[in-house]
Amino acid sequence: MVRRPLVLFSMALAAVIAPALAQQDPKTAASEAPPVFDSKFLQDPANIKVGETVWTGQCRHCHGSSAYPGKAPKLRPGALDPAFIYERVTDGFQKMPAWKEVFSQHERMSVVAYIKSGDFSP
Ligand code: HEC
Whole-prediction pTM = 0.82
Is there a domain that residue 46 lies in?
yes
Is there a domain that residue 72 lies in?
yes
pLDDT tens series, the chain, 122 aa:
556 655 555 555 455 545 444 444 444 455 789 999 999 999 999 999 999 999 999 999 999 999 999 999 999 999 999 999 999 999 999 999 999 999 999 999 999 999 999 999 99
CATH number assigned to the domain comprising residue 30 = 1.10.760.10
Is there a domain that residue 93 lies in?
yes
Q: How many domains does the chain have?
A: 1
Is there a domain that residue 17 lies in?
no
Domain that holds residue 45: 26-116
Is there a domain that residue 105 lies in?
yes
91 Cβ contact partners less than 8 Å away, ≥ 6 residues apart: 26, 27, 98, 100
Q: How far is the CA of 115 from the centre of ligand 1 (A)?
A: 12
68 φ, ψ (degrees, to nearest 5): -55, 130
Within 6 A (CB) of ligand 1 lie: 54, 58-59, 62-63, 72-73, 75, 80, 85, 88-89, 93-97, 99, 111
Query: Which of 37, 61, 63 most suits a substitution to test ligand 1, by most atoms within 8 Å of the C-beta?
Result: 63
Is there a domain that residue 13 lies in?
no
Residue 99 CA: nearest ligand 1 atom is 38
Is there a domain that residue 31 lies in?
yes
Is there a domain that residue 14 lies in?
no
72 φ, ψ (degrees, to nearest 5): -160, 155
